[in-house]
Amino acid sequence: MRILITGAAGFLGSHLADALLAEGHTVLGVDNLCTGSLENLRHLDREPRFEFLQHDLCEPFDPGRVDYIFNFASPASPVDYSRLGVATLLVGSVGTCNALGIAKKYGARFLHASTSECYGDPLVHPQAEDYWGNVNPVGPRSVYDESKRFSEALTMAWWRYHGVDTRLARIFNTYGPRLQKNDGRVISNFMMQALRGEDLTVYGAGDQTRSFCYISDEIEGFLGLARTDEHYPVNIGNPVEWTILDCARAVLRVTGSASRIAYAPLPVDDPIHRQPDISKAKRLFGWEPKIDLETGLRLSLDYFRGCVESDAEGKTPVRA
């Protein structure tokens, strides 16, 4: 197949490109590089089945015939989408609409990267796909949450009214090599802080929870979902729930760091709990994650060590 990945220079998009190329497909990656990095794609420089186009998805474009579209373009970390608030809302509305138009034109199948943020600060625990969420539509996270919720509504509308063959992946916290070293996310912050010997900044009391999925498991989940005919959302994430404090302790164990834990204020609207119910993905395509948090952190160690070393030398990090 010839496959279009929007957001191909990002953490998820670049790993997805690798997986699709490994399956023998041809990939066109599109990215405006507002948060993605060409470093994530450098290893594909001489790959004849990979093509890259620097382009803003909000501007219409015609990629030529494509058979499948993975729509992953969006700022995704709280630091990035706060900085790029309007751009985040636009890519989730105008950008997703443009991508769906391309899918219709070429009869391509379509998978949209949605998010656990659709559940907001959830009042139901764990979160199954039929929970409608508890989202603040005007708070600091709303630019991301509402962008992704609108994208879901758009995707469903193009399936219902235009017959586009769509899928919705609700992605929970994911980590691994190529995670931006300075995007403020908890795993990158803790790993970088531990490796530099700095205090680990736990926000609030650290009793809020997240469920962390290693990148290779997450990508397998996307590929499994891509092969189904399910049009309603499917959670793709690791169901093992961690408090942020225990996550900090796991990072200290894995890195062998003598760093200490320091407490800082909890950001506004920071969800208290987040844990996917993945029974739908298990039932539909027999998927469940295999890599536990400590193993995944170990697999990410070299990457973060490289980031710390290249920072010290003042160079851009070479990503794994």
203 interacts with ligand UDP by CB under 6 A: yes
Q: Which residues are catalytic?
A: 144
Nearer to ligand UDP, 166 or 189 (CB): 189
296 interacts with ligand UDP by CB under 6 A: no
Q: How is residue 130 written in tokens?
A: 């039929």
Span 66-95, contacts to ligand UDP by CB under 6 A: 78
Span 244-283, contacts to ligand UDP by CB under 6 A: 244, 266-267, 270
Q: How is residue 41 written in tokens?
A: 């794609």
Q: How is residue 270 written in tokens?
A: 């920071």
Q: How is residue 283 written in tokens?
A: 């039932």
| CA 134 – CA 304 distance, rounded (Å) | 34
149 interacts with ligand UDP by CB under 6 A: no
Nearer to ligand UDP, 116 or 166 (CB): 116
Q: Report the residue from 74, 88, 96, 189 that binds ligand UDP according to the rule CB under 6 A.
A: 189
Q: Which residue has the tokens 């164990």?
A: 253
Q: Report the residue from 109, 149, 178, 210 that binds ligand UDP according to the rule CB under 6 A.
A: 210
The H-assigned helical ranges of the chain are 11-22, 78-83, 85-90, 96-106, 142-162, 186-196, 215-226, 244-255, 279-285, 293-312
Residues 101-130, one symbol each (x = binds ligand UDP by CB under 6 A, - = not), give ------------------------------
185 interacts with ligand UDP by CB under 6 A: yes
Task: Show Cβ contacts of residue 283 under 8 Å, excluding neighbours closer than 6 positions.
Answer: none
Nearer to ligand UDP, 165 or 241 (CB): 241
Q: Report the residue from 74, 98, 142, 173 that binds ligand UDP according to the rule CB under 6 A.
A: 173
Q: How is residue 22 written in tokens?
A: 């490994």
Q: What is the largest CA-CA distance in the chain?
A: 57
Helix (H, G, I), strand (E, B) or coil at 243: strand
Helix (H, G, I), strand (E, B) or coil at 30: strand
Nearer to ligand UDP, 206 or 317 (CB): 206
- Closest approach of ligand UDP to the CB of residue 144, in Å: 8
Residues at the site binding ligand UDP, with contacts judged by CB under 6 A: 78, 173, 184-186, 189, 201-203, 208, 210, 244, 266-267, 270
